[in-house]
Amino acid sequence: MRRKDDEKEQRIKEAVIELILKEGIDGASISKIARLANVSPATVYIYFDNKEDMMRAIYREYSEDVYSYLIRRVTTRMDGACLIETLIRSYYTYMTEHREIFSFVEQCSRCPTLSGCRAEKQGVSEIFDLTREMKRNGIIRNYSDENIAAILFYPVKAIAMDQHSSEAERESRLDELIEIISRALLAD
């Protein structure tokens, strides 16, 4: 029986991301992934039962990484304004520092066969737990969890993915966005 090798597994994951971003989900075959990862197709099957299993596992891992990154940067001791700013800036930083991984997660999130993985995400639950606690404590307004997440994160994505503005312009827009979101969410 062949053993798993962490380095090979990482090369396979990197190959999946690269191919998905270049050729889309349908263009990423096991043989192409294996060739790019410099392993045999049989080696890919040591780590994953099939392409769908591989896509789900890698999508789940990297999408959870986004939320883990955010949760590690906040504490319940933060006041509402600091917490909102930290979540927004951390999300922005993650997207700009992990652009390929974030683009991969975004592309996979639009795939009907992978979209069901979203319901399984623990990280989303932790973000919702955090916003529910903030609502219970009267820190933020009692809006739906989904709307709070949309207000906090979707506008940040537009700024981070803007390739036509300078970093200084994006930072200025991010500062303004933090002010807008804080005014919208913080309880009076």
| Mean pLDDT (the chain, rounded) | 90
Residues 154-160, mean pLDDT to the nearest whole number: 95
pLDDT tens string 9-67: 999 999 999 999 999 888 889 999 999 999 999 999 999 999 889 998 999 899 899 88
Higher pLDDT: 100 or 113? It is: 100
Percent of the chain with pLDDT over 90: 70
pLDDT of residue 76: 76
pLDDT tens string 106-115: 888 888 777 6
DSSP code for 4: P
Task: Enter the pTM of the model.
Answer: 0.86
Smallest CA-to-CA distance from 177 within 102, 123, 162 is with 162
